[in-house]
Structure 1
Amino acid sequence: MEIIFLEHPVHSSSAALTAVPKTVAIGHFDGVHRGHQNVIQRSIAAAKAEGLQSSVMTFHPHPKEVLGQGSQYVTCLTPLEEKVQRFLRLGVDVVYIVKFDLGFSVVTPPEFVDDVLRPLQVKKAIVGFDFTFGSRGAGKASTLRSLGEPDIRVEVVEPLKQDGEKVSSTLIRESLAEGRPEVASQLLGAPYEVHGTVIHGEGRGRTIGFPTANIELEAAYVQPKQGVYAIMAEIEGKLIAGVLNLGVKPTFHEQLPKPVLEAHLFDFDGDIYGKSIAIQFISFLRSERKFGSIDELIHQIQSDAEQARAVLAAYNK
């Protein structure tokens, strides 16, 4: 798979890197959820059927972040690097990452088609039903179809639904905020996952019999509801079950500046300081609360660990 960064207008040298007729799935694709996967897989299938190259076009950063239309878009379900890896696993030939800045925000729909799609030799564009493009979202799928004639065909993919609701990044964000990672997992097609590095914490967990891995996140991920979770952690390719607290540790602190992630990994005692770790949120166990004593906290952690083991044993069957 090739990864190509683009700016408007597409320079001839960039176009030349993949100067063959192709299909393209276009979208921001935050989370690369099941609905996004459906759009991308249509692009791959069409390319195979017609002997074309398959590609995905995404935009970075999020348009609403650049235009200041929503603080929620400062956070993401999948940072760019993870998004690209998911595209790779789906099997696309080329990923185009278009720089979205204030200059690109005023590109008109005709300019997008003539200055971006045509130089890349796009023969078929696959988009979601709610696709918009161009300055102020003026262009819709129907606009793309009319501007693309006669050389660019357009396929519009209808929404994927789960339990009567449209699979969307917004619904995933809401599910995580409500402490429903199981729902988010169903929408994503995999557990919600964050990546970071294991760092030194306060060292308190080891003194009470529950050593923890303190995690510094590598990106501004969407934060799930604060509380205790059953998790799976991946370190150096190995999956390890555990329990995680996401919160401000009110038993020990009046107020931390931001929530911290502390994971207790079951049946594991390796030295992982400085190593990369991925955390999969499997199930929400309870909200964070302040305890009246250390003994009360230890008793609750023991209960949390037992509950997490039971949940994960069923999950990993």
Structure 2
Amino acid sequence: MQVTHVTPDNSGEVQWPDFGKETRTVIAIGNFDGVHLGHQAVLQRAHDIAQRHHALSVAILFDPRPAVVFRYAADHQGQELAPDQTYDDSYALTTLEQRLNLIEQCGIDHAIIVRYTLAFGKLTYQYFLGALVGKLGMRTLVLGKDACIGKDRAGTVSAIDTVAQATRTFELAVVDDRGPGIQRIPTNPTPEAQQAFARLLLHPEQVTKAQRRAITKQYPNTTVRTWSSTFIRFALSCGAVDVAASILGRPYSVDGTVIHGKQRGRDLGFPTANLSTQLSSVVPADGVYAGWITDLDTPQQPRYAAAISIGTNPTFAHEDGQISRIIEAYALTDTWLDLYDHHIRVEFAQYLKPMLTFDSVDELVAAMQQYEQQTRIITDRYAAR
């Protein structure tokens, strides 16, 4: 898959790549954060239509995500995020590199990454559609059912279809990317609201209809699509990594560099690879998980089953008074892996337990042995699928 980066000028204009006058394109547009099953359906439809008509399949995505740009402007008196300025996007489900790899797996020929700016966001959807037809040779636009593009999100599927029917210059293909139904999440995720809605998600069989109604009346909430980045983020905030995986079509993962820790795990016989949680992606809720780690800096990129903990390590927090949130992954291998300064991927299969404070080191070791056994069972089950 070829990749082109474009940066709008001060008026929002983009110098689009030149595919040639004879090239016809099928274009899918979106943030594609997470590249979940809904995104995959849109991208796959673009690929299939392009194959059928011998056209070029193109995905247009935005970096930074529009939400990041608008949040920065809101915090800085309407200022634009500078092109060379670093930014925090801890709400992202995937890095740009991960998004591109996943989009390529859907068979897309070319990805265009637009450096999203406030000026670009002010372009009307009519102007944007005209540029796609005139500059990129778009003959089919593929969108999800609830997609909106252009200034003030005025370019709804209905509005775009009206333009397509009136101009006859392109066709609109709409994909139902919403998944099975809708979900309720709290609009103000206070600890109490988070706990209540997490119970609805994690243990629905334990909640009566009357209790469900009481929760939804007591705490302000909103509905979101099941196949949505928003719902995946909520699931991760509850520790429901298996729910997130069912929407993503793969285990949720975070990438990071292994840092030096206190080496307590190695002293106890459970050497861990430690990541700071200051990552450019969503970190699941504190707790212990079964999953895997992959060494991305080794050519073969070996993958190991791993027991993973996220949190502040409360058992030892009293020793130095420093409390920092970290990801610790214990690879279930016969020999210790020297992964310091390596770039690794941590994948989450299933939530095991909340983070607990143990009264003694022996209790901690016994718990780690139990987590190891549970992890082996869970990861072996995945391998057998």
Candidates 322, 331, 349, aligned match of 1:282: 349
The partner residue of 1:10 within 1, 11, 14 is: 14
- One-letter identity of the residue aligned with 2:242: E
Aligned-partner residue type, residue 39 of structure 2: H
Code of the aligned partner of 1:231:
G
Is 1:196 aligned with 2:199?
Answer: no
Deviation of 1:251 (Å): 1.4
Once the 2 structures are TM-superposed, how far is the Cα of residue 217 of structure 1 from its aligned partner?
6.2
Match of 2:53 among 45, 50, 54: 50
Q: In the TM superposition, what whole-angstrom CA distance separates every residue of 1:202-226 from its partner, at most 9, and x where no partner exists? A: 1111111111111246842112111
- Match 1:172 to one of 216, 221, 232: 232
1:26–1:56 Cα contact (<8 Å) kept: yes
Using the alignment, how far apart are the partners of 1:21 and 1:250 within structure 2? 59
1:243 and 2:307 aligned: yes
Gap change, CA 1:103 and 1:163, over 3 Å in 2: closer
Considering fraction of residues, name the structure with more strand.
1
How far is the alpha carbon of 1:68 from its aligned partner? 2.1
Q: Percent identity?
A: 31
TM-score, scaled to structure 2: 0.77
> Comparing 2-11 with 133-142, which one deviates more in the overlay?
2-11
Q: State the shift of 1:41 in Å.
A: 0.5
Q: Which residue of 2 aligns with 1:261?
A: 327
Q: Which residue identity lines up with residue 14 of structure 2 in the other structure?
A: V
Read off the aligned partner of 1:85 and give its amino acid letter.
Answer: N
- The letter for the 2-side match of 1:65 is V
Q: How many residues align?
A: 315
Pair 102,296 (structure 1): closer, same or farther in 2 beyond 3 Å: same
Among 68, 74, 82, the residue aligned to 2:98: 82
Q: Deviations over 1:250-297 (max 9, x none)?
A: 111257564201111112423221222111100100000212222221
What one-letter code is carried by the residue in structure 1 that aligns with 2:229? S
Segment of structure 1 superposing worse, 142-151 or 29-38: 142-151
More displaced, 78-87 or 174-183?
Answer: 174-183
Alignment partner, residue 150 of structure 2: 134
Q: Map 1:1-317 onto structure 2 (within 5 A).
A: 1-6=1-6, 7=8, 8-11=12-15, 14-17=16-19, 20-68=23-71, 74-148=90-164, 149-162=167-180, 166-216=226-276, 219-235=279-295, 236=298, 237-253=301-317, 258-267=324-333, 268-317=335-384
Task: Describe the shift of the 1:163–1:157 C-alpha distance in structure 2 as closer, same or farther (beyond 3 A).
Answer: closer
Unaligned runs of 5+ in 1: none
Per-residue CA deviations over 1:80-114 (Å, capped at 9, x if unaligned) read 11100111111111001112111112111122112
Give the aligned residue type for 2:175. Answer: V
Cα distance between partner residues in 1 of 2:288 and 2:294: 18
RMSD over equivalenced CA pairs, Å: 2.2
Letter in structure 1 aligned against 2:37: R
Q: Using the alignment, how far apart are the partners of 1:102 and 1:256 within structure 2? A: 40
Task: Verify the 8 A CA contact 1:76 1:222 in the aligned structure 2.
Answer: yes
Structure 2: any 5+ residue segments left out of the alignment?
A: 76-87, 184-225
TM-score where L is the length of structure 1? 0.92
CA distance in 1, matches of 2:322, 2:354: 17
CA distance in 1, matches of 2:14, 2:163: 18
Misfit runs of 4+, over 6 Å: 69-73
Could you say if the C-alpha distance between residues 135 and 74 of structure 1 is closer, same or farther in structure 2, counting changes exceeding 3 Å?
farther
Higher alpha-carbon deviation: 244-253 or 114-123: 114-123
Describe the superposition over 1:174-221 as per-residue Cα deviations: whole angstroms up to 9, x where unpaired: 211111111111110100011112221111111111111112468421
